[in-house]
């Protein structure tokens, strides 16, 4: 029995990170989901991101189709079922647990009333979630905490991205711009080489930077910086994580960097912003 099967069978593992831990992650090709006619209650958190194929999700409040770009977030103890249509589906999955996700649940950022996100761009989010299965599991407590925060940020980003994507998509929008936005919004906690993005969309850096500004009214660098600040704000609102941990999870060089940028944008510090919302 591997760790994902143990999770499905109800075998609970206590995370060894202080804030949380990714327990197991990977990909499945031609999967079927849960057996038809069953209802499961998992003891830990989990996610399934469908990259190809179709299926369905059901719980007491939902009966919805799933397809490529659908994300299912499994909450501990929540009865549910999901499965693929005939022919199966391809998926990326992550099993995780810890107090960071519980804090997000208590603050309403992750809730069983909203277990699904639809319409996510597959290449971007397949890469984002698959990274947890491709990297070696951290061996230190700090490393496990950092990975858990990275996953929490990804979950919050995915929900925001689906909402923003629906607003941004419009007839006639250039394909290169859609791809640019996907690449700029990816892995906000990691460094990004902007000339490599220009190369991936088939332009020289200066041409791409000029055209991006013409289309959006902002530079690629400023666009990514704004997304990182948005992700940090989400973590401030929806979790009890400290400013230092939030800075590390969203790509700021240190706590002071986040405080300075946040104050420039809002006029107050992250701590004052959080206190004002209580």
Please, which residues bridge with residue 142 across strands? none
Are 34 and 83 in contact by the 8 Å Cβ rule? The answer is yes
Full-model pTM: 0.61
Q: How many CB atoms lie within 10 A of CB 55?
A: 24
Model confidence pLDDT, tens digit, residues 42-89: 999 999 999 999 999 999 999 999 998 899 999 999 999 999 998 899
In angstroms, the CA 239 to CA 142 distance is: 18
- Please identify every stretch of the chain with a pLDDT value under 70, giving residue numbers as ranges: 1-16, 123, 161-173, 277-278
pLDDT digits (tens, 9 = 90+) for 211-228: 999 988 999 999 999 888
Whole-number pLDDT of residue 13: 52
Taking only Cα atoms into account, the Rg of the chain, rounded to an integer number of angstroms, comes to 19
**CATH assignment, 170-278:** 1.10.10.60
Predicted local distance difference test score (pLDDT) of residue 15: 59
Give one word for 69, left, alpha or beta, with left for phi > 0 and alpha for psi -120 to 50. Answer: left
User: What is residue 37's DSSP assignment?
Assistant: T
Considering only the C-alpha atoms of the chain, give the largest distance between any 2 of them, rounded to a whole number of Å.
56
Helix, strand counts (H, E) of the chain: 11, 8
3-state secondary structure (DSSP) of residue 3: helix
| Domain ranges, ordered by start, for the chain | 3-136, 170-278
For 3-136, the fitting CATH number among 1.10.1370.30, 2.60.120.280, 3.40.50.800, 3.40.50.300 is: 2.60.120.280
Phi, psi at 43, each rounded to 5°: -80, -15
């Amino acid at each position: 029995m591997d760790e994902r099967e143990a999770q499905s069978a109800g075998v609970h593992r206590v995370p060894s990170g202080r804030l949380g831990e990714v327990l197991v992650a990977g990909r499945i090709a031609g999967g079927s989901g849960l057996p038809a006619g069953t209802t499961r209650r998992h003891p830990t958190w989990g996610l399934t991101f469908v990259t190809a194929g179709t299926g369905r999700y059901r719980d007491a409040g939902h009966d919805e189709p799933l397809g490529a770009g659908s994300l299912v977030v499994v909450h501990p103890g929540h009865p549910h079922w999901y499965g693929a249509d005939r022919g199966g589906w391809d998926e990326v999955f992550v099993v995780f647990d810890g107090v960071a996700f519980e804090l997000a649940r208590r603050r309403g950022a992750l809730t069983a009333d909203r277990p699904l996100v639809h319409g996510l761009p597959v290449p971007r989010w397949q890469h984002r979630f698959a990274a947890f299965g491709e990297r070696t599991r951290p061996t230190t407590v700090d490393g496990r905490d950092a990975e858990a925060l990275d996953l929490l940020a990804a979950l919050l980003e995915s929900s925001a991205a689906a909402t923003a994507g629906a607003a941004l998509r419009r007839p006639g929008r250039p394909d290169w711009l859609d791809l640019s936005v996907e690449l700029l919004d990816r892995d906000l906690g990691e460094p990004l080489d902007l000339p490599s993005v220009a190369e991936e969309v088939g332009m020289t850096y200066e041409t791409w930077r000029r055209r991006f500004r013409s289309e959006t009214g902002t530079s690629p660098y400023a666009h990514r910086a704004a997304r990182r600040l948005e992700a940090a704000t989400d973590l401030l609102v929806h979790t009890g994580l400290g400013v230092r941990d939030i800075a590390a999870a969203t790509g700021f060089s240190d706590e002071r960097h986040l405080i300075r940028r946040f104050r420039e944008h809002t006029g107050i510090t992250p701590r004052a912003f959080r206190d004002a919302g209580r």
